Structure 1
Amino acid sequence: MMLRIPTLIGLTASALIATWILVGLRADAENAETIALGRTIYETQCAACHGAQLEGQPDWQMPLPSGRLPAPPHDATGHTWHHPDDILFRIVKEGTAAIVGGGYESDMPGFADVLSDAEIRAVLAYIKSTWPERERSYQAETSARGR
C-alpha cells in the first residue's frame, strides 16, 4: 500500500509537532527546577540585602553615608533588567566593583567562592522569572545584542 504525499506530509508534521511539544515540556520542567533552585539560593544568599520580594533597600538610588549605594531592587522597578546576561553573571560572580572598575566601591561582593556558575545562572533565572513580559523581552534582546 502506497501512502499519498499529503498523508506522508501530515504524518511527518504530526511527528515533528509531537517532538517539539515533548522537548518543550522537558525544557519547561528543567526551567521550573532551575527557577526553584534559584529562588532557594536567592532567599539564602541575596534576600538579606535585595529584599525577600526583590524590592531592594530603601532609597536605593541615594548614596549611604559611606558613599556607596544601597542594594537595588531586582524586580521591575529596578535596573537589573536593563543589563545583558553576561554582565549580570559577572556582577554576581565577581562583585560590582570588579565589573565597574575605576575605583568604584560597592557593598555587593562577588560570590565566586560561594556559588557555582550553575547556581548563579539559577538565581538569575529566578529573578528574570519574576519580571513582566516587557522587561523580560527587553532584557533578552539586550542579551542577544551583547549590550
Structure 2
Amino acid sequence: MRTKRVLAFSLLLLVVSGCGEETVEGRWYTQSQVDRGKTVFLENCAECHGRSAQGRTSNWREPQADGAYPPPPLNGSAHAWHHSFDMLMRTINQGGAAIGGQMPGFEDQLSEDDKEASIAYFQSQWDQRIYEAWLDRGGL
C-alpha cells in the first residue's frame, strides 16, 4: 500500500523538521500509537491473542477439530513478522478465514487509526531482531 509508505515518509519529515510526535526509536510508530493500540488490542484482540499478544495456546500451528487454526501469538514468537504491514491490515480488515483461521474482520468496526495502533501495540512486543527481520522482508 503506497499510501502507508507515503504516510510513513511524511511522518519522518515531520519528526526531522521538529513537528509532530517522535517515533519510537527505530520503529515506524509513535508511543501514542502504542498506547492507543493497547486499548484497542485489549478491547478487540486480547480475548483470542492474549493480553500481551502472547497467544492462548502453544499449538497454534495445528488445526483444531473443525480444521481452523487457533489464533497465533502476535508478539514476535510466531509468524506475524513474516507478513507485511499491508497483509496485517488486510487480515484485520477481512479476517482470517482466507488464511485458515476464524478471526472475524474488523473493517467496519475499527477506524484506520485504531487498526494501525493495534499493529503498533503488538509490534512493540517484538524485540529489535524480529522487527529488523520484518523490515528486511519488506514489512513497510
TM-score normalised by L of structure 1: 0.73
Q: Which residue of 1 aligns with 2:60?
A: 60
In the alignment, which of 116, 122, 147 is matched to residue 111 of structure 2? 116
* Distance (Å, rounded) in 2 between the aligned partners of 1:128 and 1:81: 8
| Structure ID, larger Rg | 1
Whichever structure has more helix as a proportion of its residues is 1
Gaps of 5+ in 2: 1-14
TM-score normalised by L of structure 2: 0.77
User: Which aligned segments of 4 or more residues in structure 1 are displaced greater than 3 angstroms?
Assistant: 19-23
Quote the residue 2:40 is aligned against. Answer: 41
Distance across 1 between alignment mates of 2:16 and 2:74: 33
Distance in 2 of aligned mates of 1:20 and 1:130: 25
Listed one character per residue, the Cα deviations across residues 71-110 of structure 1 (whole Å, up to 9, x for unaligned) are 0000121110111111011000111224x4xxx5x21111
Q: Does 1:72 align with 2:75?
A: no
Provide Cα deviations, 1:34-73, integer angstroms capped at 9, x if missing partner: 1100010000100000011211121111111111011000
User: What is the alpha-carbon root mean square deviation over aligned residues?
Assistant: 2.2
Contact 2:22/2:30 (CA < 8 Å) preserved in 1? yes
User: Whole-Å Cα distance in 1 between the matches of residues 35 and 43 of structure 2?
Assistant: 13
**Aligned residue in 2 for 1:83:** 83
Q: What is the identity percentage for the equivalent residue pairs of Structure 1 and Structure 2? A: 31
Separation in 2, partners of 1:76, 1:20: 29
For the residues of structure 2 that align with 1:114 and 1:93, how far apart are their CA atoms?
Answer: 9
Q: For structure 1, which runs of at least 5 residues remain unmatched after alignment? A: 1-18
Letter of the aligned partner of 1:108 in structure 2? M
User: What amino acid maps onto 1:94 in structure 2?
Assistant: Q
